[in-house]
């Protein structure tokens, strides 16, 4: 199946992981990155600050797109209630775990939010999947969950960049692919095990990447983000 790249501005394809413990730290990062980043992921660490929705509102007020990455996992009715509640906010993406009942329930109430199903966390390698009792390799697991997600009415998946090429070959091109765990070439020493670099991920067919530590830990974070956007533009162009 031929994959036609979606019309997405290069800058919007980079999602910065705003993994910080407080609103103050979040605002510092938003100020520091300025117009180099237009899309932010807010997840569980920020949730426990008590200011999660204040940060969401701050991002929206500045014209940023928001990815709520809370990976909802519960009985379908509860997941549906959580997703329906999020429709009151300016949320672009939301993650849920790839269970058929949860996915169908979330898709039925998603409104304008694009629902992304989590396939296999990028911190898991084949040894971890074996320990969890999965009788398939990571690629087959991701493909199976991606096909189920689209059938259930989800908009896309979160997956390692290592599985994106297979997704593009075997799953409908309408699928949105969001790839976390993007790391510089030769990266070692953190909890991400299944990774690609920026150019590799987009060459394989990624629509978006999520980047945290490689920007946060860079000597010049804004310059690092701008360099990533330039790489994206070189690989897939701009829209």
Residue extents of the structural domains in the chain:
10-236
CA distances from 35 to 46, 63, 64 (A): 22, 10, 9
pLDDT tens, position by position, 176-217: 999 988 876 444 444 444 468 899 999 989 999 999 999 999
Q: Is 93 annotated as a binding residue?
A: no
DSSP-assigned letter for residue 10: G
* pTM of the entire predicted model: 0.88
pLDDT tens, position by position, 3-30: 667 899 999 999 999 999 999 999 999 9
pLDDT tens, position by position, 104-120: 999 999 999 999 998 75
CA angle (150 as vertex; 199, 113 as ends), nearest 5: 80
In three-state secondary structure terms, 93 is strand
Class in CATH terms, 10-236: alpha beta
Q: Is 131 annotated as a binding residue?
A: no
Q: Is 41 annotated as a binding residue?
A: yes
- With a cut of 60, say whether residue 223 has pLDDT above it: yes
SS (H, E, C) 151-189: HHCCCEEECCHHHHHHHHHHCCCCCEEEECCECCCCCCC
- Catalytically active residues are 69, 71, 74
- CA-to-CA distance for 78 and 56, rounded, in angstroms? 22
What is the radius of gyration, based on Cα positions, of the chain?
A: 17
Instruction: Count other Cβ atoms within 10 Å, centred on residue 174.
Output: 9
pLDDT at 184: 67
Beta carbons of 107 and 154 less than 8 angstroms apart: yes
DSSP-assigned letter for residue 91: -
Q: Is 72 annotated as a binding residue?
A: yes
115: left (phi over 0), alpha (psi -120 to 50) or beta: beta
DSSP-assigned letter for residue 136: S
pLDDT at 162: 81
Q: Is 192 annotated as a binding residue?
A: yes
Q: Is 19 annotated as a binding residue?
A: yes
Residues near 25 by beta carbon (within 8 Å), at least 6 away in sequence: none
Average confidence (pLDDT) over 50-77: 96
- CA-to-CA distance for 159 and 174, rounded, in angstroms? 15
- CA-to-CA distance for 164 and 119, rounded, in angstroms? 12
Q: Is 77 annotated as a binding residue?
A: yes
- CA-to-CA distance for 156 and 183, rounded, in angstroms? 22
pLDDT tens, position by position, 129-163: 444 445 455 667 778 888 999 999 999 998 887 88
pLDDT at 172: 82
For 85-116, the DSSP string reads HHTTS--SEEEEE--HHHHHHHHHT-TTPEEE
């Amino acid at each position: 199946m031929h994959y036609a790249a979606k019309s997405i501005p290069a800058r919007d394809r980079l999602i910065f992981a705003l993994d910080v413990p407080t609103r103050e730290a979040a605002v510092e990062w938003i100020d520091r990155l300025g117009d180099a980043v237009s899309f932010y992921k807010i997840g569980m660490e920020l949730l426990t600050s008590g200011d999660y929705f204040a940060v969401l509102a701050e991002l929206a007020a500045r014209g940023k797109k928001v990815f709520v990455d809370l990976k909802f996992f519960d009985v379908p009715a509860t997941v549906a209630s959580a997703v329906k509640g999020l429709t009151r906010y300016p949320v672009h993406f939301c993650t849920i775990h790839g269970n058929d009942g949860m996915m169908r329930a979330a898709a039925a109430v998603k409104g304008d939010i694009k629902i992304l199903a989590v396939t296999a966390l990028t911190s898991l390698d084949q040894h971890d999947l074996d320990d969890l009792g999965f009788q398939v390799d990571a690629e087959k697991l991701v493909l199976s969950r991606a096909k189920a997600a689209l059938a259930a009415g989800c908009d896309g998946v979160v997956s390692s960049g290592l599985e994106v090429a297979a997704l593009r070959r075997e799953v409908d091109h309408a699928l949105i692919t969001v790839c976390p765990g993007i790391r510089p070439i030769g990266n070692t020493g953190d909890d991400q095990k299944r990774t690609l670099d920026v150019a590799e991920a987009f060459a394989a067919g990624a629509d978006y990447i999520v980047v945290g530590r490689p920007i946060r830990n860079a000597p010049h974070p804004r310059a690092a983000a701008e360099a990533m956007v330039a790489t994206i533009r070189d690989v897939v162009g701009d829209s």
